[in-house]
Amino acid sequence: MQKTVHIAGITVIGLILRVLVIGFAIIFIYNYINPPNKIKEYRDSQRQMDLNLIADKLELYFSSKGVYPPSSGTDNSRQGNNCRGDFGNGWNTNEGLYQALVGAGFLEGLPTDPINKTGFCYTYQGSSCSATGCSRYILWAPLEKTKVNYVCRDPRNCKEEVIK
């Protein structure tokens, strides 16, 4: 009587099928989750929260002083011209917005953009200004995912828009 011996093993075709199934699962999960887009969404939501915080503090400042803080031209978190400069990595402590909100105790520090490199920064500009302050302001940051700006204008009106 002859015994039949069964050897458990994986055939080449079985191995290829398993690799294909796992590969397709990984591709599907990666495309569904899309980590680069999620990171952009996170940074955009952080920008919106930061600008909303600054806008809230600007309204408190306005309630206290009757004006918005003057800007030193265009104040931004990169200390450069329209976020293009590479002069520093934070707000200039001598600029109007920093002095008004941090110097007067409305904030412990001004938030900076999650990237805070060329092209990505927070910018504040007072308008309709006199010697005592400004009656209007604009505060903005570029968003990565939608390629528009998140803009806050007085009085505390924040939304996505294109700055012209």
**pLDDT recorded at residue 20:** 94
| pLDDT tier, 105 (very low <50, low <70, confident <90, very high otherwise) | very high
Does residue 128 contact residue 62 with C-beta atoms inside 8 Å? no
What's residue 1's pLDDT? 62
Query: Please, which pLDDT band fits residue 88 given cuts at 50, 70 and 90?
Result: low
Q: Average pLDDT in the 66-71 region?
A: 92
Which residues touch 2 (CB under 8 Å, ≥6 apart)? none
Is residue 14, in this structure, part of any structural domain at all?
no
Span between the terminal Cα atoms of the chain, in Å? 92
Residue that has been written with the tokens 């012209």 in this structure: 164
The answer to whether residue 67 sits within a structural domain is yes
Q: Domain for residue 24, yes or no?
A: no
Give the pLDDT confidence score for residue 119 in this predicted structure. Answer: 76
Residue 85 belongs to some domain of the structure? yes
Question: What mean pLDDT is predicted for residues 35-53?
Answer: 92
Q: What integer pLDDT is reported at residue 136 of this predicted model? A: 92
> 10 Å Cβ neighbour count for 18?
11
pLDDT surpassing 90 at residue 60: yes
- Domain of residue 136 covers 36-161
Residue 29 predicted with pLDDT over 90: no
The answer to whether residue 152 sits within a structural domain is: yes
| Reported confidence tier of residue 120, pLDDT bands at 50, 70, 90 | confident
Q: Which long-range contacts (C-beta less than 8 Å, at least 24 apart) are formed by 33-39?
A: 37/145
- Is 66 contained in some domain? yes
Number of domains the chain is built from: 1
Residue 91 lies in a domain: yes
Share of the chain above pLDDT 70, in %: 87
HEC profile of 80-148:
CHHHCCCCCCCCCCCCHHHHHHHHCCCCCCCCCCCCCCCCCCCEEEEEEECCCCEEEEEEEEECCCCCC
Residue 18 lies in a domain: no
Predicted local distance difference test score (pLDDT) of residue 8: 64
Tokens read off for 90: 């934070």
